[in-house]
Amino acid sequence: MFYILRRANGEIFTLQRDGVSYIAVWADERDVRRSKSANPDLMVYVPAPADERVLRRWLGDRPMRFFLVDSRNPDLRTGREISPEEVLGQAALPKAA
């Protein structure tokens, strides 16, 4: 499961990379905490699972581009683009009974 950052009003944290806007995602909650501790501006955001329903509510029909923040470097400058299927496909998997 991937995590995003959201504000209380539902605003989703995005990054600008080479003029392109990305939804920042983290591989686990520990990585989110590491990024938040290194970036005080992120303190107004809380981690939340990357859920397609929540993302669609906020973004509407706009295309979603995701940037996986590198867990080894919490300063948000390193990572890679990942496909929506990678992010949302995992969120859509059924839970084991």
The domain spans of the chain are: 3-91
| Topology classification of domain 3-91 | Trna Endonuclease; Chain: A, domain 1 (3.40.1350)
Q: Could you tell me the CA-to-CA distances from 93 to 1, 3, 66, 96 in Å, in that order?
A: 9, 15, 19, 9
The pLDDT tens digits along the chain (97 residues) read: 899 999 999 899 999 988 999 999 999 999 999 999 999 999 999 999 998 888 888 888 888 899 999 878 877 888 999 999 999 885 444 444 4
The burial class, CB within 10 Å (0-12 / 13-18 / 19+), for 2 is: buried
* Residues whose CB is less than 8 angstroms from the CB of residue 3 and which lie 6 or more positions away in sequence, other chains included: 25, 26, 27, 28, 29, 31, 32, 47, 48, 49, 50
